[in-house]
Amino acid sequence: VNLIILTEADSVGGNRYRLTDSRAEHIRTVLRLQIGDSAQIGLVNGPVGEARIEQLDDTEVVLICGEFQKLPDPLPTVDLICALPRPQTLRKVLITSAMMGVRNLHLVRANRVEKSYFHSPLLAPAKWTPYLIEGLGQGKLTRLPEVQIHERFRSFFEDTFPALERGEKLPSVRLLPHPEATKAIHGVYDGRSQRLVVAIGPEGGWVPFETELMESVGFKPFRLGPWVLRVEHAVTAVLAQIELARMLPL
């Protein structure tokens, strides 16, 4: 972890924050900090800064935050739509999304998503937030991704998604990595738009009905590469290619 992420729930008044969970454990056993040492911290959805360890024992760590610094320039806005993966993959997708600056994560049903996945205990904010916090700490970011669950594929793409888009100030480029596409990402995204939406399919892929519906609401298929990737690798690979597309000369 490169940044210790603090939330409002950790605040004990003034500039003091009290940690009792895996972050306290991390400070003790991985960073091996002691009373008086400094640590890099970030406030959820807020600035980053430095804190001093005021108290540290087996049960808790108390930090006093000093001055906060200006945040780095924001990343481009990328929203991720992901066919709900099985819980062990979802944990990785949550960490990666936060680490790489995803703004909204929409978890949707799809034909090849097992129904049981929607009953996972992980699908509750109190359960998924620690994975997001872990990802933010790794990526040195503080904006917590918003996670939403959509139990119906069709109504998400026909109703919810268009309504969300109407509420946005910037138009979006909508990307659909697809093994049968022929164009690479620079053929469908010129690197200029600062708002993107990417849809990642389930293990085994989307079925034709699904890709047709997504294309009808503006998603553009592109070829990510020659590989067959796991969902969590596809997320990283797409975000890496978006970043390169942004750096290409126009």
Q: Does 96 bind its own copies (CB under 8 A)?
A: yes
Q: Please state the closest distance from residue 159 (CB atom) to its own copies, in A.
A: 33
Site string for its own copies, 100-129 (x = CB under 8 A): xx----------------------------
* Candidate list 62, 75, 132, 188; residue touching its own copies; CB under 8 A: 75
Whether the Cβ atoms of residue 231 and residue 200 lie closer than 8 Å to each other: yes
Question: Which segments of the chain are extended strands (E)?
Answer: 4-6, 16-19, 38-43, 48-56, 61-69, 77-83, 104-108, 146-150, 173-177, 195-200, 220-222
Residue 243 contacts its own copies per CB under 8 A? yes
Residue 88 within binding range of its own copies, rule CB under 8 A: no
Residue 44 C-beta: closest distance to its own copies, Å: 17
Asked if 236 interacts with its own copies (CB under 8 A), we say yes
Q: Which two tokens stand for residue 67?
A: 């001055």
Going residue by residue from 168 to 207, which x/- string records binding to its own copies, judged by CB under 8 A? ----------------xxx---------------------
Q: Is 5 in the site for its own copies (CB under 8 A)?
A: no
Residue 187: phi, psi to the nearest 5?
-80, -15
* CB-CB contact of 145 with 132 (8 Å): yes
**Between 90 and 99, CB nearer to its own copies:** 99
Pick the piece of the chain touching its own copies (CB under 8 A) from 4-12, 39-47, 105-113, 134-142: 134-142
Give the list of residues 6+ apart from residue 222 with CB closer than 8 angstroms, or none: 175, 176, 177, 178, 181, 183, 184, 185, 187, 188, 189
CB 26 within 8 A of CB 124: no
- By CB atoms closer than 10 A (0-12, 13-18, 19+), residue 238 is buried
Give the residues lining the site for its own copies (CB under 8 A). Answer: 2, 72, 75, 96, 99-101, 138-141, 184-186, 223-230, 233, 236-241, 243-245, 247-248
